[in-house]
């Protein structure tokens, strides 16, 4: 799990996601399934009680607090959906 402070920290992960192009499946708002090397990982994007945006992924990298490409892929969908909700 990591706290999303800015898009800069995701740059590398976004580059990797663009190269690998994982499948992102929508589960419900804030919860996505992303394909990885060993099957699907679950990515959860939420705001914690202090208002921090947190991103959790079930892969090994995210367990160590790294911004993984699964999170980057899920976030690009999540941010788009969040914008739509605000516009509605």
Residues that bind Zn ion (CB under 5 A): 41, 57, 59, 62, 68, 70
What are the residues whose beta carbons fall under 8 Å from the beta carbon of 46, sequence distance 6 or more? 30, 53, 54
For residue 24 the two structure tokens come to 């992102």
- Select 10 or 87, whichever has its Cβ closest to Zn ion: 10
Q: Are the beta carbons of 65 and 71 closer than 8 angstroms?
A: no
Minimal distance, residue 87 CB to Zn ion, in Å: 29
- Select 32 or 41, whichever has its Cβ closest to Zn ion: 41
- Select 38 or 84, whichever has its Cβ closest to Zn ion: 38
């Amino acid at each position: 799990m990591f706290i999303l402070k800015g898009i800069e920290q995701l740059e590398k992960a976004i580059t990797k996601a663009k190269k690998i192009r994982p499948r992102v499946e929508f589960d419900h708002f804030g919860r996505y399934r992303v394909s990885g090397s060993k099957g699907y990982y679950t990515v959860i994007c939420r705001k914690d009680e202090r208002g921090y945006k947190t991103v959790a992924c079930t892969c090994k990298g995210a367990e160590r607090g790294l911004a993984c490409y699964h999170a980057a892929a899920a976030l690009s969908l999540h941010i788009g959906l969040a914008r739509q909700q605000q516009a509605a």
